[in-house]
A = this chain, B = another copy of it.
Amino acid sequence: MPYLKDKGQSPKPMDCRILTAALHLFVHHGYHNVSVHDIQRKAKASIGSIYNHFDSKEGIARALYYHLLDEFEEMLADVIAEELTNIDRCNRIISLLFKYTESRHEIVEFMLYEKHRRFIPGAPPICGVAPFSTMQDIVKWGIENGEICQGSECVITSCVFGGAIRMIHLRLDGLIDRPLPELYDAFIAHIWQGLSRKDQGSLLRAVSG
């Protein structure tokens, strides 16, 4: 393809043209507002060719979705392989998502902002699926080894990644006008340190002094 990275078996050139066209159209107009004719035109292929590569319009969406899901999961595997603390793993994931939101916004929008079950009948809710459960695992490990505060995994995971996902949505909707990576440091600090006013200075002084 490649979408997020080069590894893994990429689809064949023609599949790629079709999937890339479909991704673009789905993101900008919505699955239901895009016809197979639109995809065919954009991919510079014919209807017959489309149906030679995919069994249906829904099949195109499915292929796209599961392909990107795999790439997402690969990215997370890489982050886990890095042997960081679990907090830093969370931060790294957020950092990558913020970057991709700028550089590959169509992919991020399709994966993080679309209701896939609306057009892929069999699809499980995305938040329960591999990459997202992996994110919850990382949080769980962090709680277990004491990096992260005690509490319900799903609540803490929601706090960590829910805020990030919200920012991505706002950015994609044009309601944040700065590139997300510029807001990364502030965001990370808020999440881990909390949002109520606190006298950070004295806390830090207490440690160093």
Residues of A within 8 A of B (CB): 30, 32-33, 85, 87-88, 91, 113-115, 118, 125, 127-128, 146-149, 151-152, 154-156, 158-167, 169-170, 173-176, 183, 186-198, 200-207, 209
Contacts and interface: CB of A to CB of B under 8 A. Distances in A.
Given A166-B166, A200-B203, A200-B206, A115 B195 contact: no
A25 to B, nearest CB: 13
Given A118-B30, A194-B192, A196-B193, A167 B147 contact: no
A120 B147 CA distance: 45
Contacts of A30: 32, 115, 118
A148 B166 CA distance: 19
Tell me if A's interface is mostly helix, strand, loop or mixed: helix
A128 B172 CA distance: 12
Contacts of A209: 85, 87-88, 91, 188
Given A165-B162, A190-B159, A148 B91 contact: no
Give this chain's copy count.
2
12 contacts: A32-B118, A87-B196, A125-B174, A127-B173, A149-B190, A158-B187, A159-B191, A159-B195, A162-B166, A163-B166, A200-B204, A204-B207
A5 to B, nearest CB: 25
Contacts of A114: 115
Contacts of A191: 159, 194-195
A59 to B, nearest CB: 17
